[in-house]
Amino acid sequence: MTTTNRNKRLIWQLPFLVLLIVGTVLIIRQQHATPYQHNHGFIFGTTYSITYQYGDDIQQDIEARMQEVDDALSMFNKESVISQVNANRPVKLSPMFIDVFQQAQKISQDTDGAFDITVAPLVNLWGFGFKQGEAPSRHAVDSLRAIIGYQKVKLQGTRIIKADPRLMLDCSAIAKGYGADQVARLLDEKGISNYMVEIGGEIVTKGISEKRLPWKIGVTKPTDDPTQTNNELQTVLNITDKSMATSGNYRNFYYKGGRKYAHTIDPKTGYPVQHSILSATVLCDRCSRADAYATSFMVMGLERAKEVLERNPDLMAYLIYDDHGQNRVWYSPSLEDKINE
């Protein structure tokens, strides 16, 4: 190619290069000019906080999506799908209910029943804080253990079939995470690329924060703090483009007869868990999955939790446990580059 032809080609390409540069600059300026919206409120018996970069405030749409989840999974909503299933009424199962039920059953199988959405009768029997002043009798516990079990409920077509009509479902250990997933899906549908969704401590993030930095979330240091006023951080995690859920007994417990009882019930024993894990934080791509496994690890204990993590490489965990009165930390090797001490 001659020098003259090369110069002519460069001259023809120059306007396109200029347009490309100008277009890129305009897009970046537009991104910086688009404000971050901040929505707060109350749902699922807890608070929510959602930050997203968008030209309009879409809190109404967000709350409508969360209400769909509530209509499917809330035990406090007498007309929800799960309430009607528990009352043994004929009900049309919503897609959300079916999705969560199927997820829950898979996780129950994977954790050998440490996660079990049929545990509600046992939770109610214990009653947080011994509401009646006495621990349940062994007979009462054993009677309910004979009823519950994730294997005793199944999805058949569009119906839930129970082995015993007294069996009740409780999705509280997965519903907040699922709600966060649903809000994130809504934001994705609207083309929003920078957001953080937080519902009752369960979190989904994407893109960057208002400070143009990756999203960073603190993990609270576990201390005996039933008043929930101590928020000292154990560590800070970079969770951009991830979901995160934390379960812990260090704030929800009570003493009786000189013993400390956690609020988490082991479905197999029928009693509050008695092991060393104080806090389980799980990261993965779906918040519902992180939520359920965080609860499972609180039931299973450290060694069994490690076994589950080995066969689920998509999960990362940050576990704080008691070692003869000293708090220790174990975390997945894949989580190391996300820890900001």
Does residue 222 surpass a pLDDT of 60? yes
Which pLDDT score is estimated for 72? 97
Does residue 183 surpass a pLDDT of 70? yes
Encode pLDDT of 283-311 as tens digits.
999 999 999 999 999 999 999 999 999 99
Q: Which of 15-29, 152-166, 212-226, 275-289 has the lowest mean pLDDT?
A: 15-29
Q: How far apart are CA 256 and CA 63, in angstroms?
A: 41
Average pLDDT over residues 318-322: 92
Encode pLDDT of 98-116 as tens digits.
999 999 999 999 999 999 9
Which pLDDT score is estimated for 149? 95
CA distances from 46 to 41, 171, 175, 199, 273 (A): 9, 15, 12, 7, 24
Does residue 229 surpass a pLDDT of 80? no
- The model carries a pTM of 0.85
The class (CATH top level) of 40-340 is alpha beta
Cβ burial, residue 3 (10 Å; 0-12/13-18/19+): exposed
Domain ranges of the chain: 40-340
pLDDT-derived band at 26, boundaries 50, 70, 90: very low
Average pLDDT over residues 15-36: 59
CB atoms within 10 A of CB 310: 10
pLDDT-derived band at 341, boundaries 50, 70, 90: low
Which pLDDT score is estimated for 294? 96
Q: How far apart are CA 324 and CA 58, in angstroms?
A: 49
